[in-house]
Structure 1
Amino acid sequence: MSDQLLLVDDEPGLREAVQAYLEDSGFTVDVASNAHEGLELAHQKLPDLVITDIMMPQVDGYQFLKQLREDPQFKTLPVVFLTARGMTADRIQGYNAGCDAYISKPFDPDELVAVVTNLLEKQKALQAAAADDGGHNLAEMARQIAEIRAMLTQKGTIAQSPNTIKIDFTPREQSVLDLVVDGLMNKEIARRLETSVRNVEKYVSRLFSKTGTNSRTELVRYALENGLTKN
C-alpha cells in the first residue's frame, strides 16, 4: 500500500501539477483547496504526511498547522510547507511553527519527492522503534484486557448494556475495535484484516479519538461497558 499524502494549496494549477508528480512517484494524494477542507480530509483519511501552502485565504498555513497539532493524533504528523515565502525569516517562522520541512516556490519536484520520502522513512523508523519498545508490555496488556473482559462479563455488563451510546464507526473501524476487544495486538489484527500494521495503528488512534480514550485497556473497557463491540 502506497503512502497517503494530503496536499493543501489554493492554486488549482500548482495543486494539480504537484498531485500528478507525486502520484507518478508512487504516492496516493488527496487534495484540498483550503485549510478547512484540509482539516476535514486529515480526519477522514489520516494521511502519512501533509504538504501545505502558507498563504491561503481565511486560514493560513500557520493556523492550519496549529489546528493539526492541537489534535493528539496529528502531534507527530510530518508537515511540509510549500510556499512562495522564501526569505530566511519566513523559514525560521515556519520551523518555529512546527513544520518538518520548508520548500520555497519555485521548486524542483525531485527535491519535494526526496524530502517527502526522507520524512516518511524517518516516521516509519520512529514507529518501528516505538513498537519494539512496547514489545515487553504486550503480555501485560493482554492480561489486563482479559481481566477487563472477565470482570465485565461477571457483572453482566455486556448483556445488560447493548448499544447504550451511538458512535459512527466505519466498517473497518468496527472490525479493528472488535479485534482489539478480543485482545489481539496490532500485528495480529493486521494479519487478520490483511492490511499493514501502520494502517491498524491509524485505526486504533482514530478509535481513541472517537471514544475519548487514551489506551487500549481504556478503549476495551469503554467499548464493553457501552455495547460498542459486535462480538
Structure 2
Amino acid sequence: MAGQLLVVDDEPGLREAVQAYLEDSGFTVDVASNAREGLELARQKLPDLVITDIMMPQVDGYQFLKQLREEPQFKGLPVVFLTARGMTSDRIQGYTAGCDAYLPKPFDPDELVAIVTNLLKQAAARVATSDDEGHNIADLARQIADIKSMLTQRGAIVQSSSPIKLDFTPREQSVLDLVVDGLMNKEIARRLETSVRNVEKYVSRLFVKTGTNSRTELVRFALENGLNTSMTRESGE
C-alpha cells in the first residue's frame, strides 16, 4: 500500500536503513535527524504517517508527538514510536502519550512494514466512512449558502480589484474553489481525478495558509477576501 512517510531519528545509520527498507516496500519516505527538522518537514510534506525515535537531543519523541497533535492537520496522523526503550512501562508511556504503535529496537523490518500498512489502511477506512468534519453534505451546503447570502447582502464579497494575495498552488486553488462550491472531499477527489487522501492534504494546507480550522471558516475567509476564482468569474459576468 503506497503512502508518504516521515522518519525522524538522530542515528544516521538506522535512519537510512529504515528509509531504504520502506522505499523498497513501495513507500515514499522523507527523513529528519531531529524533532525540529521533523516538524518542519511534516508541515511541508503532510505525511500519511510518522515514524519517530523517542530518545533524541533537545526535543524527545514525546515532545515531538505533543507538538504534532497541537496542530489541527496532525491530530489524526498515525505515529509509530521506533525506539530502544522496550520495557513494558516504556510502551505504556508511549501509548499514553498518544502513539498509534510502539516497536522496540532491535526490530524486524517486516513487522514495521506490517504495522505501517495496517495503520494506513485504518486511516483510509476512517476517511471512507467519515463525513468531513462530522457534517453531512446537506448541512455543509446549507452553511455555505448561508455564508454566501449573508456576505452578499453585506456587500462583503471582495471584487477582483482588491483581493488579498496568498501563495496558493494551482491545485490548492482548484480545491479551494470546489470547497467553496460545497463539494466534499470524495466529490473533489472524483472531480480532480485524485485520491481522497490527497484532497485532505490540500485542504489541510489551505487551513494552514489561511489560518482557519474548519471548512466553514475557510469558505468564509475565501469569500470575504476574494480568494475564490469561481466567485470572481461570476461577479465579472
Q: TM-score, with normalisation over the residues of structure 2?
A: 0.87
- 1:221 maps to 220
Q: Which amino acid aligns with 2:211?
A: G
Distance 1:63 1:210 in 2: 24
| Deviating more after overlay: 27-36 vs 194-203 | 194-203
CA contact (8 A) 1:162 1:226 kept: no
What whole-Å deviation, never above 9, does each CA across 1:136-189 have from its counterpart, x for those lacking one? x20232233233223333443334475554433333222211111122222221
Letter in 2 for 1:42: A
CA distance in 2, matches of 1:54, 1:155: 53
Could you list the per-position Cα deviations for residues 5-51 of structure 1 after superposition, in whole angstroms to 9, with x for gaps in the alignment?
11111111111111111111111111111111110111111111100
Query: Which residue in the other structure is 1:203 paired with?
Result: 202
1:149 aligns with 2:148: yes
The residue that corresponds to 2:37 in the other structure is 37
* Distance in structure 1 (CA, Å) of the matches to 2:229 and 2:100: 40
Q: What is the rounded CA distance, in whole Å, between the counterparts of 1:218 and 1:194 in structure 2?
A: 26
Which runs of no fewer than 5 residues in structure 2 stay unpaired?
231-237
**Alpha-carbon distance change, 193 to 163 in structure 1, aligned in 2, over 3 angstroms:** farther
- Between 1:172-181 and 1:28-37, the stretch displaced more is 172-181
Q: Are the equivalent residues in 2 in contact too, given 1:163–1:228 (CA < 8 A)?
A: no
Q: 2: distance between equivalents of 1:176 and 1:161?
A: 19
The 3 A distance-change label for structure 1 pair 163 and 102 is farther
Q: Give the deviation of 1:82 after TM superposition.
A: 0.7
Matches within 5 A, 1:1-231: 2-131=2-131, 137-160=136-159, 164-231=163-230
TM-score by length of 1: 0.90
> Alignment partner of 2:7: what SS?
strand
Q: Please state whether the residue corresponding to 1:47 is helix, strand or coil.
A: coil
Question: 1:67, CA displacement in angstroms?
Answer: 0.6
Q: One-letter code of the match for 1:41?
A: L
In the comparison of the two structures, how many residue pairs are matched? 230
Distance 1:21 1:154, change over 3 A: same
Q: Which amino acid aligns with 1:174?
A: Q
CA RMSD of aligned residues (A): 2.2
Deviations 1:34-90 (A, max 9, x none): 111110111111111100011112111111111111112211211111111222222
Distance in 2 separating the partners of 1:32 and 1:25: 20
SS in 1 for 2:157: helix
Kept after mapping to 1: 8 A contact 2:132/2:185 = no
